[in-house]
Homo-oligomer: A and B are copies of this chain.
Amino acid sequence: MSEKQRLLEAAVDYVADQGIGEKSLRQLAAALGTSHRMLIYHFGSKEGLLVEIIKTVEARQLAVLADLAEVEGESPGDAARRFWQRIANPALWPNERLFFEVYGQALQGRPGTTHLLDDVIHSWVRPLTEMIAAQGFPAEQAQNLARLGLATSRGLLLDLLATGDRAGVDAAMEQFITMYEAQLPGRATPLS
């Protein structure tokens, strides 16, 4: 692995812990055991470094999704539960905090961050839609459910990161999954 790559990984770990907002190149460099001169050397400019950090954060987030291979014979509700258990894992919190920090800055148009907005929804909704459609939902409803499930997960994650109240948030997610299970095709729908 190149020195550049090593520095980048270390930089992401550091800003995941400390926040990316107010850090100067010199602070960053000192924490990584190098000099601000080297960061400019490898990444061209501060914004160049920012862009690469964000790409890494994005990649780490997507890795969580990609890791969710399907389990044979698992019910849709249990798949959702496993999905949530994985996302809510405290080991991922630093990266998720950083994700939301950058998301917020991207919404405000900070240079170098806005490309994150292009994929932040659809790179998740696309695969989730496929998984849900495989349960027998019509395509359009599957997409609505994917988008809804993503939003609910992110919203509850924001709650969890703010309050740390794992039990309360878990209960809310369980409520959601219960409602989802009641919608599954092949089940009597109380309204029809």
Interface residues of A (CB under 8 A from B): 18-22, 97-98, 100-110, 117, 120-122, 140-141, 143-145, 147-148, 150-156, 158-159, 161-163, 168-169, 171-176, 179-183, 187-191
Mind listing 28 A-B residue pairs with CB under 8 Å? A19-B108, A19-B109, A19-B110, A21-B105, A21-B110, A22-B110, A100-B100, A100-B104, A101-B108, A102-B104, A107-B161, A117-B163, A121-B159, A121-B162, A144-B175, A145-B175, A148-B152, A148-B156, A148-B176, A150-B155, A151-B152, A151-B155, A151-B159, A152-B152, A154-B155, A179-B183, A182-B190, A188-B190
A10 to B171, CA, bound (A): 41
Asked, given contacts A175-B145, A190-B188, whether A100 binds B107 with beta carbons under 8 Å apart, the answer is yes
A141 to B141, CA, bound (A): 26
Asked, given contacts A105-B101, A144-B172, whether A158 binds B151 with beta carbons under 8 Å apart, the answer is yes
A110 to B108, CA, bound (A): 17
